[in-house]
Amino acid sequence: MESKTHNESILVCVHYGPHGQRLIQRGSRLANLLGAPLRVLTVDPARQETYSPEKELYLSAWRKQTEEAGGEFMQRKCGGNQKTADVIAEAAKETGVTQIIVGRASQSFWHEITHGDFVDDLLDRIGAIDLHIVAVQRYPEMLEETHEKGFPALLVPRGGRYVLLSEGKSIADKKLPEKSLEGLFFRELDTDFDSGLFKVVKNGQAEYLKIVQGEWFEK
């Protein structure tokens, strides 16, 4: 059988927060369609951040999803006065990428998107590389386009975190810790993980908590 030559190469850029798994799914589909190698990149800011168990869960999920799709997961850090756009462009050129996928929402995907011209900066740096900007919706607006239908669930405190229980039984029917939360869980589309949004109502106001692989870490 004649071997394929890869004229295209896909780079998906994901950042700590929701929608990363959907962007990787989009990139994987495009890579399969083109017979192209897939890489997924996340960029850490230059400033030193404290350890975040929730962020580590995201990274673990993205790495697993990327590797299962036959791709390479990359994690890089901004150095000195570098911007996120600098790091993405550098990684793209080093790996011979021809197409880049990023997500953009009305609520910032990266800090630079709302506090600077992120897309313009990136376009200036990547030259002839194609840039795909995938619209990702804010929640709770148009939640049905990015998540499955919500169902009753519980968040139960356990060892410094909250664990998702999707049995749909009320707290009154179970002997659960006092700080347990009752609400609706909306699982992200195109994912095998219990990742998504947990809706609780406090003082008459809806609040959406980010669930990553069945866990939520209280800030």
120-133 pLDDT tens trace: 888 899 989 999 88
116: exposed, middle or buried (Cβ count in 10 Å: 0-12, 13-18, 19+): middle
- Residue 68 and residue 23 share a domain: yes
Domain boundary among 79, 114, 135: 135
| CATH number of 31's domain | 3.40.50.620
pLDDT at 197 over 70: yes
pTM given for the model: 0.62
* Region 160-175 average pLDDT: 68
pLDDT at 193 over 90: no
Quick one: pLDDT at residue 71?
96
Q: What whole-number distance in Å separates Cα of residue 70 and Cα of residue 106? A: 31
Query: In which band, very low, low, confident or very high, does the pLDDT at 91 lie, cut at 50, 70 and 90?
Result: very high
* Region 132-152 average pLDDT: 70
In Å, how far from its chain's centre is CA 67?
Answer: 15
Query: Which is it for the CA torsion 24, 30, 33, 37, positive or negative?
Result: negative
Q: What whole-number distance in Å separates Cα of residue 58 and Cα of residue 68? A: 15
pLDDT > 70 in the chain, percent? 76
- Residue 124 and residue 16 share a domain: yes
Most confident of 40-54, 81-95, 107-121, 199-213: 81-95
Domain boundary among 70, 104, 135: 135
- Residue 114 and residue 31 share a domain: yes
pLDDT > 90 in the chain, percent? 27
Quick one: pLDDT at residue 48?
57
Quick one: pLDDT at residue 118?
75
* Region 84-94 average pLDDT: 93
Quick one: pLDDT at residue 145?
62
Range of the domain at 67: 10-135
* Region 58-76 average pLDDT: 92
Lowest pLDDT segment from 16-20, 37-41, 195-199, 208-212: 16-20
Q: Higher confidence at residue 39 or residue 151? A: 39
Q: What whole-number distance in Å separates Cα of residue 95 and Cα of residue 61? A: 23
- Residue 19 and residue 118 share a domain: yes
Number of independent structural domains in the chain: 2
61 token code pair: 């999920």
* Region 134-162 average pLDDT: 75
Q: Higher confidence at residue 5 or residue 102? A: 102
Domain boundary among 104, 119, 135: 135
Q: Which amino acid is at 125?
A: R
Quick one: pLDDT at residue 136?
64
Looking at every residue in the chain, the average pLDDT score rounds to: 79
Quick one: pLDDT at residue 1?
36
Beta bridge partners of 151: 185
DSSP state of 191: -
